Structure 1
Amino acid sequence: ATAKHVANIAKAFADDIGAARLEEFWERFRSEEPNHEVFGHDFISFKDLEFTRSPAWLTTTGPNNELPWTTIAPFLERVPHVLDDKGSFFKLDLLHIYHLGIGRDFAASSLVAILDFVYEGTVPERLVKMNADLKEYLASSRKQVHFKLLTRDILGFDSDKVFPAGHWNKAFDTPVLIEFVGWVLRRNNVILNSQRVLQIMASACDAMSRFMQNLLRSGLWLKQAVAADCGEDGLYFLACYAKLARVSFDAQKCRYNM
């Protein structure tokens, strides 16, 4: 990753998680990559926080973002593209970013949080109860996942000292598990109404559900109104994720890795 790419990733999620969390990110990154070019540039503030509709880091995107190559690929001369922003031809793989990226992190952390809030007993006993609910949900929704049971290993939850990562391999297990999170929360309405963190979690599930439904029901080209709705829901999901990360950090819990 180039310096600006790394900086953009850090700053894109920074505002809602606090200066301490952002500084922790940079400290860990510096320890892993002490000679990375990101530390040799002056356009990065390691303490300024931004998570708004118009963050300053947007000025480093598009034609203002340095290209990660020195030689333009010959095929670009034969396909339509924006001449002053050649990099825009290459698009991010949204489904993989969601299914095997932030969506999987969200699902894993949310399921671990639900173990604490909804179920009682030891962790193995809580997992048994959660798996019983998952079986009921899959039967009622006629959906499926590509693993037998939710376990510590599947959740990527070795201990409270690590962030749940989600170790399922099939991308489409992620949206099913996120819908399951919302299903569990709503059938435990009393607990949901008593815990703000669970309400944020449920709102995030709803936003991403609307996002994916609008996206997948549309044709190849999104209508402007649909694209705007998707953008709003996507931004709201990210805001919820960042808020959950901040709440977890304040509670000194490893949840919702940034």
Structure 2
Amino acid sequence: DEATCANASWMYITWTCDMAPRLTDSAASRMLVAVLPADRYIVDPDTGINLTLQSAFMHIANSFNQLTRQGVKVADPTTDAVAVLDVRAYVTGFRGDWKALKQTFNFTRYADQDSVCWMCHATKGAANLQDAYTNISPTAPWMSTIGATLPWRLTPAYASLLGFNPGFIQPDLLHIWHLGTGRDLIGSALVYMVKSNLCFAGSIQDERLENATASLKSYAKRMRLPLKLKKLSKSKLNWRARCMPELRSSGYDTFVVGRWLADEVVPNHHTVLPQNLCIALWTSDRVLSIMANGGRWLTRDQQHEKERLGGLFMRSYVLLAKQSISEKTRLYRMRPKLHILHHILMFAPPSRLNNHMYATWMDEDFLRKAMKVHRNTDPRKASLRVIQRYLLGLPKTWQDICKRHHSMRE
């Protein structure tokens, strides 16, 4: 993922061991591989391929392949250094925001093109509306193209990894929902509720927003959910003329506000709110709960419930958009992220892999911690110094985790 430091963008490349015991501790589970300044990128003007990143990824892939073939012998110092483990690495998945994945895998199908999806041939409908990603019918033409062709013309460096499969490329639920479609739905729902005077007391819109804020904060405190959002205001909802509503919040705040709407507002006002709006808010919260509380692989029942509720969400979301068009009102954007969300909700490999495991919550947290070190580093030497300082602090990080673990057991 890219992060900004001192008005400059830097690409942070990390890896995580799926077998790590502390996956929810970003400092201990995220291993920093490289830090690259974005202003030094060399991009091919004809293909748009980031040659700098592809060169770095080729070296990383070669190193992983060596670890896969040869492994690392781990010795026990108490038994005359006899090897007791043969550790080997196998890459099983890639995660990152959509922009980072595009640069990593040379996608030719992307949000800024008519063909938007690396997993199928869905489009924006420029040539044929039947191929549009807003066509969510079970017989939509794009559904038969899932995995049919590779999403690149020039093979990316990571394709040289032993056992590589395009199915390893996972969409990021954080950026797709919590920083994307979820903010659109929740912002639009709040604007509708306040404007129509259906849910919150107050004679004018500002008073209703104040009462909505009080209700939200009370709910968050009662449920012990951290909330950074200070208040619901027109600016926070992007409530302006000729603009689509959108909740301008952090990813976690999107979750908290969505849970509040589904748990408290919708049950108390479902008789006066549009049915499809209630369905969209409730099903989205329920699906997120299934994924967040599920293991690495969902059970058959969890997968079935996710697909059933995901189908209800997609239908209600699209119907709300169609209704707003017919009524000539502004509701929310039908972003290409909605289509990626459709894949997350409705499809899964035979293993029933839980996509929530590939959300980048902890990666973003690791970036925030790394930025504290980066800001105190000379930009001219940051690519090396940040990694050196990270490695120096890693043993203490693991020691602290072990101490906390032992104290909890006692």
Q: In structure 1, what is the Cα distance between the partners aligned to 2:148 and 2:131?
A: 24
- Scaled by the length of structure 1, the TM-score of the pair is 0.74
> How far 1:135 sits from its partner (Å)?
2.3
**1:164 maps to which of 235, 241, 245:** 245
Kindly tell me: are residues 121 and 57 of structure 1, through their superposed partners in 2, closer, same or farther at Cα, counting changes over 3 Å?
Answer: same
* Aligned-partner Cα distance in 1 for 2:232–2:210: 9
Distance 1:57 1:5 in 2: 11
- Paired with 2:131 and 2:309, the residues of 1 have a C-alpha distance of 26
Query: How far did residue 9 of structure 1 move?
Result: 5.0
Give the CA deviation at 1:123.
Answer: 1.9
Query: In the aligned structure 2, how far is the partner of 1:245 from the partner of 1:180?
Result: 23
Larger radius of gyration: 2
Cα distance per residue 1:24-70 (max 9 Å; x no partner): xx6xxxxxxxxxxxxxxxxx314777221231112333133x42340
Rounded Cα–Cα distance in structure 2 between residues aligned with 1:9 and 1:165: 24
C-alpha distance after superposition, 1:221-248 (max 9, x if no partner): 2223322221222222121111111222
Q: Does 1:60 align with 2:138?
A: no
Tell me, in whole angstroms, the C-alpha distance in 1 between the residues paired with 2:190 and 2:131: 32
Amino acid at match of 1:99: H
Deviations 1:62-89 (A, max 9, x none): 133x42340232x43334334xxxx322
Structure with the largest fraction of strand: 2
- Matched with 1:89 is 168
Query: Following TM superposition, by how much is the alpha carbon of 1:103 offset from its aligned partner in structure 2, in angstroms?
Result: 0.8
180, 184, 201: which one pairs with 2:265? 184
Residue matched to 1:15: none
Specify every segment of 5 or more residues in structure 2 that has no aligned partner in the other structure, as ranges.
1-109, 335-410
The counterpart of 1:118, out of the listed 168, 177, 199, is: 199
What fraction of aligned residue pairs are identical, expressed as a percent?
A: 24
Work out whether residues 244 and 256 of structure 1, in 8 Å CA contact, stay in contact via their aligned partners in 2: no
| One-letter code aligned to 2:192 | A
Q: What code does the residue aligned with 2:206 have? A: P
1:95-134 to 2 correspondence within 5 Å?
95-115=174-194, 116=196, 117-119=198-200, 120-134=202-216
Q: What amino acid sits opposite 1:10 in the alignment?
A: K
Distance 2:331 2:138 in 1: 25
The alpha carbon displacement at 1:200 in A equals 1.9
Is contact 1:164-1:256 (8 Å) kept? yes
- Give 2:287's aligned residue: 211
Asked if structure 1 preserves the Cα contact closer than 8 Å seen for 2:284 and 2:313, the reply is yes
Normalising by the residue count of structure 2, what TM-score does the alignment of the two structures yield? 0.48
- In the TM superposition, what whole-angstrom CA distance separates every residue of 1:161-190 from its partner, at most 9, and x where no partner exists? 31102211x2111121112222123223xx
Q: Following the alignment from structure 1 to structure 2, what is the Cα–Cα distance between the partners of residues 123 and 9?
A: 39
Following TM superposition, by how much is the alpha carbon of 1:98 offset from its aligned partner in structure 2, in angstroms? 1.0
Is there any run of 5+ residues in structure 1 with no aligned partner, and where? 12-25, 27-43
- Does the CA contact (< 8 Å) of 1:107 and 1:166 recur in 2? yes
Q: Contact 1:156–1:167 at 8 Å: present in 2 too?
A: yes
* Contact 1:208 1:237 (C-alpha < 8 Å) held by counterparts: yes
Equivalent pairs counted in the alignment come to: 214
Task: Return the letter of the residue paired with 1:77.
Answer: S
Q: CA 1:184–1:225 in structure 2 vs 1: closer, same or farther (change >3 Å)?
A: closer
In terms of fraction of residues, the more helix-rich structure is 1
* Structure 1 residue 4 corresponds to structure 2 residue 115: yes
Say whether the 8 Å CA contact 1:109–1:165 is kept in structure 2: yes
Runs of 4+, deviation exceeding 6 Å: none
In the aligned structure 2, how far is the partner of 1:167 from the partner of 1:9?
27
Q: Which residue in 2 is equivalent to 1:238? A: 314
Identify the match of residue 173 of structure 1 among 242, 253, 266.
253
Rounded to whole Å, the distance in 1 between the matches of 2:123 and 2:210 is: 37
Give the aligned residue type for 2:179.
L
Q: Does 1:148 align with 2:208?
A: no
Q: Distance in 2 between matches of 1:224 and 1:122?
A: 49
